[in-house]
């Protein structure tokens, strides 16, 4: 039997030449901390860009008042996003620089980004935006928002309740589900004012025909005399009839503030627990002064002075979000969601009073120190604000 020493010498002879070759090889120098940090930042920015440059490829008619703006990214690849998220589009109209969040209506992974915009007759941005021609460029935020389907959380039947352009995030979800499989029984109840203004009506009907797990109901609030379809509003009776079993269901509600409040009242009548409801509001209330929480004695057209620490003094209406008044005066305020969620427009009230929408998303620690989110805060006295 060979000794252990002999075995060791034979093993060394076997590996001697490979070891010599390895010793002659030029090994790469280890990466420095700054190099690793740079690569990490580049990866994060690719997946979650703070901003993107978009070019309008197509402006498509959806209804008589609605357009789909189809964008391509010109400064890189489109980042991944989740159906239900939005981007905030930055625009300059005359002397005013502002931004508006729009839900992505296209599914992930197709290389373009669809933003479907309803032309509001009294709107400031939407009529201007609907008239843009292909080739127009704009900056936007990266995809953001938490109005998404979570498979681990939303395990039961899925109920989607929308009004007007509130269907846009659901269109992204539905197209995605059609490609990868619906998560279970899914029901869409969509409210439109008239039969000729049903956003994505044909596309939704086609999806319902092709997928047995998906049911869609178009509800017209102002139907013509000869209309034979479902009319009225999204009420408890309709929800019960079309959804059936509600236990364990997950509810997603999207649309104007008034619709969301109405639907939440109807869901409460059906004993739907609050934790089963997700919501996404499109824009501030049409008239904030009619809300029961609004301070008594202050009218929508009452005007107050707003002075900025180190900046100008302007005048703002009580019935309009502070952010709108600041932008109209030429102030550039960071803003993404414009619903109180992201806190980019966070400002400190140094003196005076500002009323915030219930559920505005201000953290308790910030609230205690006098911070507000300008997109959902309204002046109720003369104010002094600090950008923080």
From CA 345, how far away is CA 176, in angstroms rounded? 32
Interval 192-222: pLDDT, tens: 999 999 999 999 999 999 999 999 999 999 9
- Position 1 scores a pLDDT of 44
Ordered by where they begin, the domains of the chain are: 47-141 (2.40.30.10), 158-281 (3.40.50.80), 289-386 (3.10.20.30)
- Nearest in space to 54 (alpha carbons), one of 22, 27, 76: 76
Under 8 Å between Cβ of 360 and 377: yes
Pairing of strands 303-308, 313-317: antiparallel
pLDDT at 105: 98
pLDDT, tens digit, 9 for 90 and up, residues 291-333: 889 999 999 999 999 999 999 999 999 999 999 999 999 988 8
* Segment 246-264 mean pLDDT: 93
Cα–Cα dist 57/73, whole Å: 10
CA 346 from centroid of its chain's CA atoms: 18
Share of the chain above pLDDT 70, in %: 91
Alpha-carbon span 99 to 108, nearest angstrom? 23
The residues near 175 (Cβ < 8 Å, ≥ 6 apart) are: 83, 106, 107, 207
CA distance 93 to 43: 34
pLDDT digits (tens, 9 = 90+) for 6-58: 555 555 555 555 556 656 666 566 677 777 777 777 766 777 788 999 999 99
Distance of alpha carbon 373 from alpha carbon 26, whole angstroms:
57
Would you say 340 and 362 are in contact if contact means Cβ atoms under 8 Å apart?
yes
- In three-state form (DSSP H/G/I as H, E/B as E, the rest C), the secondary structure along 35-56 is HHHHHHHHHHHHHCCCEEEEEE
Query: Which segments of 64-185 are extended strands (E)?
Result: 66-73, 86-93, 96-103, 113-118, 137-141, 158-163
Q: What is the mean pLDDT of the chain?
A: 89
Is it the case that residue 122 has pLDDT exceeding 50?
yes
Residues of the chain with pLDDT > 90: what percent?
A: 70
pTM for this one? Answer: 0.84
Task: Tell me the average pLDDT across 84-111.
Answer: 94
């Amino acid at each position: 039997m060979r000794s252990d020493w002999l075995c060791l010498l034979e093993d060394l002879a076997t590996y001697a030449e490979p070891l010599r070759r390895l010793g002659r090889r030029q090994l790469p120098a280890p990466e420095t901390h700054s190099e690793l940090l740079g690569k990490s930042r580049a990866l994060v920015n690719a997946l979650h860009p703070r901003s993107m440059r978009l070019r309008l490829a197509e402006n498509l008619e959806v209804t008589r008042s609605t357009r789909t703006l189809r964008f391509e990214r010109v400064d890189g690849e489109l980042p991944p996003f989740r159906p239900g998220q939005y981007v905030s589009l930055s625009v300059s109209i005359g002397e005013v620089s502002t931004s508006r969040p729009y839900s992505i209506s296209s599914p992930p992974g197709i290389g373009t980004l669809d933003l479907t915009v309803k032309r509001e007759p009294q709107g400031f941005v939407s009529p201007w935006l609907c008239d843009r021609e292909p080739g127009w460029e704009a900056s936007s935020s990266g995809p953001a928002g938490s109005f998404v389907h979570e498979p681990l959380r939303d395990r039961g039947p899925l109920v989607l309740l929308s009004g007007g352009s509130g269907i846009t995030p659901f269109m992204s979800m539905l197209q995605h589900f059609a490609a990868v499989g619906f998560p279970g029984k899914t029901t869409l109840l969509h409210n439109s004012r008239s039969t000729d203004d049903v956003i994505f009506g044909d596309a939704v009907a086609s999806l319902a025909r092709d997928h047995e797990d998906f049911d869609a109901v178009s509800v017209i609030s102002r139907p013509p005399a000869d209309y034979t379809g479902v009319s009225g509003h999204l009420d408890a009776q309709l929800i019960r009839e079309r959804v059936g079993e509600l236990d364990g269901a997950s509810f997603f509600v999207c649309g104007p503030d008034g619709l969301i409040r109405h639907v939440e009242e109807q869901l409460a009548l059906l004993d739907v627990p609050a934790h089963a409801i997700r919501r996404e509001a499109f824009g501030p209330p049409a008239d904030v002064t009619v809300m029961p929480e609004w301070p008594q004695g202050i009218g929508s057209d009452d005007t107050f002075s707003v002075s900025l620490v180190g900046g100008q003094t302007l005048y703002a209406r009580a019935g309009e979000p502070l952010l709108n008044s600041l932008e109209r005066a030429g102030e550039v305020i960071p803003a993404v969601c414009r619903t109180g969620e992201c806190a980019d427009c966070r400002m400190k009230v140094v003196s005076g009073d500002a009323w915030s929408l219930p559920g505005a998303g201000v953290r308790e620690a910030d609230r205690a120190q006098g911070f507000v989110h300008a997109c959902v805060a309204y002046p109720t006295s003369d104010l002094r604000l600090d950008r923080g």
